[in-house]
Structures are given as structure tokens and as C-alpha cells.
Amino acid sequence: MFFVLPALADPTSTTGLCLAGERVRLACEVTKGKQAALCQGDALVYRFGKPGAVELELPAKGGIPIDVARQRLGEDAERHVASAWNDGHRYAIVSERTEDQFDLSVVVRKGADKPLATLACRKSLGVDFTETDAFRADPARLESWIGAWSGGEASFRIVKEGDGLALRDGEATWHGGGDRVHTGEASGALTRVGPDHMRMEADGCVIDIHHEPAGTLRAEDNNRCGGMNVSFSWTYDREP
């Protein structure tokens, strides 16, 4: 399943879906001769379709700018995720690198729900996520927070509710010696404390969440969000 819109551009250059003068950040062949591409001109643009027959281009006019988050996966492994939004759906353009090997894909979700579709790239046509700091997420936008987040021994979802945000399905675990396992749960409305700072307070549990420049979230709790030693105080990556 893949969401498409009428073409908003008609790329005719020989660089695939990226126009002449645009920098190819990610481009790949997917299925039935179609391609997915993340291109950089004055801003980032995501396109899907065939050269000369684009089916989807994001952001739409006046839409949310595409941002890029960088995630460390290991000593010599990392993931870059560019997030494009369309009518509440997030298109995550993903590059996972292990040493000199790349796995490229596009994951589509509605808000923080489970993926609706995952489009695997069959052939890479180019990938370059160097010097992308200028495309950091803007914490002032609700979409920069929405998603499924995981880190350490905890996870949660941030969803849009009304005109604001809420933390849902928060789960944290502490593993002690032997069979000792303590758990905690968290759920509640988020209140904006500062430009990059949200807070959840519910049932005595307080979690302060800061949006970091790398696209991660840093959380700190008041040690009252579950059993003994249970903590939501971790750094979280958003799942593609």
C-alpha cells in the first residue's frame, strides 16, 4: 500500500527524479520501474514515481519542511531518517549504513501508529547524508514530536490529541539480579514548558522531555513512574 497524489512536478533531467541542479541525498529503484528520491535544492524534496511522471512530491505547497535525524546503531553503523508529512501521514525515508553497506527504504505511518507500508529499495541510485545539520527538526512543530520512540529499557508513543500532544503506551523495565524485574507505565497529556521542552504529569509521575538537535528525545523522570529502580530517563530515537 502506498499513498500517491497528482504530480506536482515534471522532472526531465537525466538525474532521475531529482532536477538538474538538485543534490541527490537518496535515490533508489523500488518496483515496476518506479523510484523514490530525496533531493536537495533550497530545501529537501521527496518524490516518488517514474522520471517524467512523478506521482507524489512532498512537501506540498505550504507543507511541513522535511527534516533529517541521525541515529547511532553501533561502532560503525548509523541510520539517517528524513521525515516528510502528508495529511497526517509520515513518510520516513531511511538509510541504514553498516560499514560500507546501505539498506534503503521508505516507511509510511499514520501519526505514531504501526507502519501502513514499507517500500524496500531494490537498487541504490545514490545516497549522501553528509552535511545535513541544516535540516534539523523544529521542536515548535507538533510533528517533530509525533511518533513511536524507544531508548534504553523504555518506550512510548507521542500522539496528537486535539490541538496538543499526549504521551501514550509508556513502558519501562528494570532487570535486577536473578529473576527480579520491575516495570512502570506512563500515559498523559504533554504540556509545553519551553521551545524544545515538553512535560507529562500523571498519577505522581513526572517526565520532562527535551527535543535534541540530532532529532532524538532526552527524557528525565522524578523516580515515581513505576517500581523500584524503574526509569524513563533515557535518550530516545524515533522509529522509522
Residue pLDDT, tens place only, 228-237: 999 999 999 9
If asked whether residues 129 and 148 sit together in one domain, one would say no
Beta carbons within 10 angstroms of residue 20's beta carbon: 9
pTM to 2 decimal places: 0.89
CB of 15 within 8 A of CB of 119? no
Q: Which domain holds residue 54?
A: 23-135
Residue 7: inside a domain, yes or no? no
Q: Is 18 inside a domain boundary? A: no
Smallest CA-to-CA distance from 236 within 132, 168, 164, 153 is with: 153
pLDDT in tens, 112-163: 999 999 999 999 999 999 999 899 999 999 999 999 999 999 999 999 999 9
The reply to whether 160 falls in a domain is yes
E strands, 195-232, where?
197-202, 205-211, 217-221
Which pLDDT belongs to residue 9? 36
Cell numbers of 172, please? 519501562
At residue 4, does pLDDT exceed 60?
no
- According to the model, what pLDDT value does residue 15 have? 55
Percent of the chain with pLDDT over 90: 83
Q: Which residue has the higher pLDDT, 238 or 75?
A: 238
The predicted structure's pLDDT at residue 107: 97
pLDDT digits (tens, 9 = 90+) for 151-195: 999 999 999 999 999 999 999 999 987 788 999 999 999 999 999
In the chain, how many domains are there?
A: 2
Of 133, 166, 127, nearest to 27 by C-alpha is 127
Contacts of 198 (CB under 8 A, 6+ apart): 145, 165, 190, 191, 192, 208, 209, 211
Q: To the nearest whole percent, how much of the chain has pLDDT over 70?
A: 94
Residue 224 corresponds to which amino acid? R
- Cell 515534471 locates to 10
Question: Distance between CA atoms of 231 and 23, rounded to whole angstroms?
Answer: 43
Of 185, 183, 192, 133, nearest in space to 164 by CA: 192
Which of residues 84, 106, 135 is at a domain's end?
A: 135
- In this structure, is residue 76 part of a structural domain? yes
Q: Are residues 104 and 171 in the same domain?
A: no
Residue recorded with cell 525515508: 93
Of residues 32 and 107, more confidence is placed in: 107
Q: What is the mean pLDDT of the segment spanning 17-40? A: 95
At 58 the pLDDT is 98
Other beta carbons within 10 angstroms of residue 41's beta carbon come to: 11
Residue 12, domain member (yes or no): no
CA 168, CA 184: separation in Å to the nearest integer?
13
Is 104 part of any domain? yes
CB 57 within 8 A of CB 93: no
- What residue type is 75 in one-letter code? E
* Final residue belonging to a domain, choices 135, 159, 184: 135
Say how far apart CA 83 and CA 89 lie, in whole Å: 10
Is pLDDT at 1 greater than 80 in this prediction? no
pLDDT higher than threshold 50 for residue 13: no
